[in-house]
Structure formats: structure tokens, C-alpha cells
């Protein structure tokens, strides 16, 4: 009797409710990792930019003190161009609709790739008209990723020059 009562409250065509629910659940699992990665990239960029703009420019900036994960090398690539391999984030999870492509076309996209051993443990994208790196030609370690901050007089960007 209980089973019969339970079945009587189901809609006449349960497939109309079950299929969309299954689709939403599957897509959620599929996109959750992508969403998390893209949100982390955006959060890193926002936090770094805000931190640098509020920082005393007379103090050295140590990248290892800013990150909340362990890494043994970082590669900072400036002026990323269209067609170079990098992270794609759908639905504006990282950049607004065409902002990323515009930044690449104008040479204003900077990428930071953090490694631990042979694995990439962190990835970030920055606007070089907000945060500009100078003197970074090769991979850096946590001890060598130390920068002297300043302001770019042309565009007001925070200028991070690698300390030697």
C-alpha cells in the first residue's frame, strides 16, 4: 500500500523530470573542476593586483610569500600571443567574453606557471597593464622570485623588476 501511494504522487511522465535532473548532475560534475580552476585564476589575479597596489613600494615583493601552495619553480611568460597554448575558461569564469583575446592580440597577457617537481601546481593570468614583470627570462625558484616593486609611469601599472 505504501509503495502504491508513493507511486501515485509521481507525475504521469517522470522521464520529463528525471532526464533534466541527470543532465544537470552530469554537467555539474564535468564542469566543476573547470569552474574551480578558472575561478582560482581570477581570484589569484585580483588578490595579487590588490595586494601590490596596497603594498609599500619600498619593500621587496617575494612571490613565495603571496602563494598559498608549495612550488619549486615558476615560469613567468610575458606578452602571450594568440595561438599559444594556455588555459581556456568558458562562460566568463576567468575573463569577460572577449577580453582575453583582446589582451593577447595587444600583447598584454602575462602567464605564471608554478611547478613542483614535474607537475604544474598553479597557473595564473595577469594583465601586464596592471602588473608588469621585467627581467624574467627563465624559471625562478622561491628564493630567486624576489622583485623590486615600482610604478610604470606610462600606464600606472605596478612594475615588478627581478632583483639580482
Asked if residue 4 is part of any domain, the answer here is no
pLDDT recorded at residue 97? 64
β-partners of residue 140 are 74
Question: d(Cα 122, Cα 155) in Å, to the nearest integer?
Answer: 28
Domain presence at residue 8: no
Supply 31's cell numbers: 564542469
Task: Report pLDDT for 8.
Answer: 64
- Residue 74, strand partner residues: 114, 140
Report yes or no on 80 lying in a domain: yes
Residue 154 lies in a domain: yes
User: Could you list the residue range(s) of the whole structural domain that residue 127 is in?
Assistant: 15-162
β-strands 61-62, 73-77 pairing: unpaired
Q: Does the pLDDT value for residue 71 go beyond 90?
A: yes
For the stretch 112-157, pLDDT in tens is 999 999 898 988 888 888 888 888 888 899 999 999 998 877 877 8
| Separation CA 49–CA 30 (nearest Å) | 30
Residue 131 within any structural domain of the chain: yes
- Report the C-alpha gap between 48 and 52 in whole angstroms: 6
pLDDT of residue 91: 62
Counting the structural domains of the chain, the total is 1
- Asked if pLDDT for residue 89 goes beyond 60, the answer is yes
Q: What is the pLDDT of residue 90?
A: 61
* Residue bearing the bigger pLDDT, 89 or 158: 158
CB 61 within 8 A of CB 55: yes
Q: What is the DSSP string of 120-158?
A: EEEEEEEETTTEEEES--S-B-TTT-EEEEEE-TTT--E
Q: Is residue 64 part of a domain?
A: yes
| pLDDT 10s digits, 55-67 | 887 889 999 998 9
Q: What is the pLDDT of residues 2-55, one digit of tens each?
A: 666 665 666 666 666 677 777 777 767 777 777 778 888 888 888 988 888 888
Question: Quick one: average pLDDT of 156-163?
Answer: 86
Nearest-angstrom CA–CA distance, 143 and 78? 21
User: Looking at the domain assignment, is residue 7 inside a domain?
Assistant: no
Amino acid at each position: 500500500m505504501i509503495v502504491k501511494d508513493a507511486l501515485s504522487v509521481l507525475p504521469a511522465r517522470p522521464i520529463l523530470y528525471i532526464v533534466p535532473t541527470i543532465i544537470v548532475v552530469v554537467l555539474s560534475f564535468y564542469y566543476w573542476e573547470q569552474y574551480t580552476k578558472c575561478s582560482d585564476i581570477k581570484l589569484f589575479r585580483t588578490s595579487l593586483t590588490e595586494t601590490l597596489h596596497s603594498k609599500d613600494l619600498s619593500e621587496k615583493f617575494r612571490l613565495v610569500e603571496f602563494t598559498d601552495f608549495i612550488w619549486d619553480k615558476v615560469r613567468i611568460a610575458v606578452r602571450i600571443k594568440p595561438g599559444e597554448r594556455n588555459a581556456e575558461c568558458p562562460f566568463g569564469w576567468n575573463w569577460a567574453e572577449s577580453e582575453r583575446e583582446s589582451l593577447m592580440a595587444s600583447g598584454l597577457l602575462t602567464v605564471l606557471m608554478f611547478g613542483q617537481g614535474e607537475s604544474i601546481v598553479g597557473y595564473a593570468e595577469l594583465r601586464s597593464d596592471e602588473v608588469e614583470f621585467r627581467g624574467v627570462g627563465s624559471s625562478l625558484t622561491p628564493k630567486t622570485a624576489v622583485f623590486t616593486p615600482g610604478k610604470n609611469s606610462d600606464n600606472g601599472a605596478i612594475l615588478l623588476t627581478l632583483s639580482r
